[in-house]
């Protein structure tokens, strides 16, 4: 199972939000590249970068950060937030991103997903953020009328193989991921599901592993010391 340390970027800084609330942002590092260096020292092979400005305002500001990280470190980057057009995807991949995640646009413009998959294949993933079982969009401020599992299956028909699944109610709460909902996504879709939201301990990571998740994203627990990345990668 792949392990993805998370770096959420807001105003050029690495932050963490509580349940996606922009008014509850905690600055973790003024320099996202410095945060990456810490995970590289732990032998991380992948990182997960979210452009929170992009997710909220529909405009990406992370290409320079991606470029800086790639120039300094040998690490794979998957990134999302604010991906609204093929040019947004082009810019991130040209900057060095290994995988680009389409979120809101997957609900509002599935044609973009089809176009992106044709051009970039498995380098395109879809992020599904769920609230009470329904996909949330626009930086989690709106809840669509589309059920998360239904959206995942629609994306599968368009050629998507990887989904980043986040339960908003768990994000940043340190209460453990929504195992049952994540298991349902895995079993109903047959896709590679990367679990996100709520990971607070090594036990949580083991639970995600047991249900057959492709990967897990770890954020707040790494920054507050609840999870030791070296220990996770060893295990």
Catalytic residues: 8, 129
Q: Exposed (0-12), middle (13-18) or buried (19+): which is 3, by Cβ within 10 Å?
A: buried
- Helix and strand tally (H, E) in the chain? 11, 12
Q: Which of 185, 171, 179 is CA-nearest to residue 206?
A: 179
Please give the distance of CA 222 from its chain centroid, rounded to a whole number.
Answer: 15
d(CA 49, CA 7): 5
Residue 40, classed as helix, strand or coil, is helix
Dihedral pair phi/psi, residue 119, rounded to 5°: -80, -40
d(CA 43, CA 39): 7
> What six digits make up the tokens of 154?
């629609």
Q: Exposed (0-12), middle (13-18) or buried (19+): which is 52, by Cβ within 10 Å?
A: buried
């Amino acid at each position: 199972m792949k392990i993805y340390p998370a770096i959420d970027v807001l105003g050029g800084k690495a932050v963490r939000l509580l349940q996606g609330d922009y008014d509850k942002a905690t600055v973790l590092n003024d320099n996202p590249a410095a945060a990456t260096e810490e995970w590289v020292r732990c032998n991380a092979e992948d990182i997960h970068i979210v452009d929170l400005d992009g997710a909220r305002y529909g405009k990406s500001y992370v290409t320079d950060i991606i470029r800086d990280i790639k120039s300094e470190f040998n690490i794979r980057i998957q990134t999302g937030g604010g991906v609204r057009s093929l040019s947004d995807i082009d810019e991130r991949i040209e900057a060095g991103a290994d995988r680009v995640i389409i979120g809101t646009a997957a609900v509002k413009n599935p044609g973009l997903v089809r176009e992106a998959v044709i051009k970039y294949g498995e380098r395109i993933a879809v992020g599904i953020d769920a609230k009470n079982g329904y996909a949330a969009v626009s930086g989690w401020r709106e809840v669509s009328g589309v059920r998360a599992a239904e959206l995942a299956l629609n994306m599968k028909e368009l050629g998507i193989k990887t989904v980043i699944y986040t339960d908003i109610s768990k994000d940043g709460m340190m209460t453990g991921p929504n195992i049952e909902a994540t298991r349902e996504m895995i079993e109903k879709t047959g896709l590679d599901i990367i679990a996100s939201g709520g990971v607070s301990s090594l036990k949580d990571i083991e639970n995600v592993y047991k249900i057959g998740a492709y990967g897990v994203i770890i954020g707040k627990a790494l920054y507050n010391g609840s999870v030791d990345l070296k220990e996770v990668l060893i295990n």
